[in-house]
Amino acid sequence: MKKTLLFSLLAGTFATASHAQSEFSEFTDNPSAFTISSDKNTLEFGGRASFYYENRFLKSGQTNLKKNGFDVKDLDLDMIGKTANKFTYELHYSLVDMITAAATQNTAAPTSPGFKAAYIQYNGFKVKIKLGYDKVPFSQSSLMHEHETPNWSHSGLTGGDFFSRRDIGLTLNTRLCKNMINLYAGAYSGMGETFFEYGNDASGTFEYMARAEFSYPGKVNYNEIDEENSSVLQFRVAGNIRYKNKTQPGGASTVTTYPDAGSTYGLNFIGGKSTVYGGDAIVKYKGFSATFESDIVNLQPSNAADALFNGTSAALNKGKVKAGGFISDLNYNSEPIHSTLSVGYQNLNANDLVSGTQEWLTFAYAYKISGFNSCAKIEYYLPTKEDAVSNPLKYTGQLRVGYQVVF
């Protein structure tokens, strides 16, 4: 039955596509999307396909070359509409995730459920009201799209290991002072991308979020690269916070009930309280752009024996665990030579009760045939400091080379 539904969806929507969302979305824009208009109703179709070759430079003694080879990064379809009565809607899903699920007996990866967006939004009030599944308003880097940069993926801090990037719920958004102030507030399931696997959890509580931004001289879009070669310096600074209390009835273990909802480091979903806060900024001027972001995860597991405490005494851990980090990127875009270069830095700590942090440098270059809608990209990851406990590595560097098309 699941496979029948899957292939029905594919057959019914293969001609509809898009990852970019033109006037409808706060977070991206795709001028090449196919548009159908009738009176005041508009419907856009588009998509994205990208593939790369990956090579990991293994440490001495490592012999498994499974990660070295070709891979599919994206194969996305998207449909976005705008109605005469001031509603917008979107259905965006990943064919790669759905085909992988079908090939593995309908078991999708918990953090890659197939859907990337499925929502409706009402724009008739000063405050926009969105209901459904989409990116949550937290973290500049998470809200930006990696396909609009020379990079192949988000940073380790904002890629989903420290906090979820998407969830189902209600989002309110308004802009003030000639679009210089942008405010968000929302309530969500708190299950993140694993909602499609587990639904709501037994605590029956929400995750709450708020984000406030200030931009100058006006609205600054969620794209990291200064492709417009801004003649006037633009910047945006922002702060955001998210909170949830997922203490389970009877003190039940979330690891047992929801075994893969915590993501790589077990931070995304715990039995207890979770508060994540952070700040970010972006500056653009004459093809140059720089981004900065810091996010801190504060956890209070309700079970004194929680694995996140790593066997430390209550006197030492005081019932709390902290994680987080800092990321920064410096970019230069030159339209005359169709090129964008980027250098990034990451400093991550997956658990303050465990000795060790991670540091990374990232070098990326894109040669653009038609902007980022058709471009070749090359990216090199260099771990300069390894966290041998939280994230032991089998390689000394990683190279990805490939091509992407947005249509």
- What domains can be seen in the chain, in order of their start residue? 2-406 (2.40.160.10)
Q: What is the mean pLDDT of the chain?
A: 90
What value does the mean pLDDT take over residues 70-85?
Answer: 94
Q: Is the pLDDT of residue 201 over 80?
A: yes
pLDDT of residue 343 exceeding 90, the answer is yes
Q: Is pLDDT above 50 for 376?
A: yes
pLDDT for 65 equals 95
State the Cα–Cα distance between residues 28 and 262, nearest whole angstrom.
28
Distance separating the N- and C-terminal Cα atoms of the chain: 31
Question: Is the pLDDT reported for residue 218 higher than 90?
Answer: yes
Confidence grade of residue 25 (pLDDT, cut at 50, 70, 90)? low
Return the minimum-mean-pLDDT range out of 2-11, 225-234, 239-248: 2-11
H-state helical runs in 127-233: 140-143, 195-198
* pLDDT (0 to 100) of residue 109: 64
Residue 58, pLDDT > 70, answer yes
pLDDT of residue 35: 77
Is the pLDDT at 8 greater than 90, yes or no?
no
What local confidence, expressed as pLDDT, does residue 99 receive? Answer: 85
d(CA 278, CA 295): 4
What does the pLDDT look like over 232-274, one tens digit per residue? 999 999 999 999 999 999 989 898 899 889 888 999 999 999 9
Average pLDDT of span 208-230: 96
Residue with tokens 């309700």: 302
Whether residue 3 is predicted with pLDDT greater than 60 in this model: the reply is no
pLDDT of residue 14: 37
CA neighbor of 330 nearest in space, from 144, 150, 128, 159: 150
